[in-house]
Structure 1
């Protein structure tokens, strides 16, 4: 995988991770949602007016374009497992931004993912 291809894959992964974090921030701003027939429209309006949620959706849209560019240059069997780097980014960012737990088990899991991505990237 050359530098351009790796950059596209990594950009796609980071955009996807950013989208998740923005969606989480928007969901936290709204609070717990309980869907019923009576509140579908009000909840839809709340979701559609949350800037973090709109930003997350925009990140997803851009990430699809970047991902297509990446897939045009590399095999999907190599690119797709790289998405697991998003788990690492999200776990660390969620710990930092939202105060989510980063237990020893999660750290070990992150280490396993990183080793797996390294082995895959070297193939």
Structure 2
């Protein structure tokens, strides 16, 4: 059970990292300025912690379950991108989200 919790937290931290990186990219005048923004540094830090927790999860979970589960982060990032940054979330994106969720469900069932 602890390994599934580590996987879940890893996914959530990865989503948070992605959102922070997007925020850090906004109004970054140069690449160096973007890299030094607190949002960018925080996003990269979340990715590091996410990767460490993912390694813990892989100790007991099959990679055939763990890695597809990470794709659920695409769903969360798409929804949060729409809410926070007004990025498109139309029919094509919703169709892709449905396919991702369906694929994860199929893999979890087998």
Out of 66, 88, 91, the residue aligned to residue 75 of structure 2 is: 88
Distance 2:107 2:2 in 1: 17
**Unmatched 5+ residue regions in structure 1?**
34-42
Tell me the equivalent position of 2:98: 111
1:73 aligns with 2:52: no
Structure with bigger RCO (C-alpha 8 Å, 6+ apart):
1
Cα deviation digits, residues 20-56 of structure 1 (max 9, x gap): 111000001315x5xxxxxxxxx42x13431100110
1:20 aligns with 2:7: no
The alignment's TM-score, normalised by the length of structure 2, stands at 0.91
Q: Which runs of 4+ in 1 moved over 4 A?
A: none
Q: Which has the larger radius of gyration?
A: 1
What is the aligned residue count? Answer: 110
Distance 1:120 1:4 in 2: 20
The alignment's TM-score, normalised by the length of structure 1, stands at 0.82
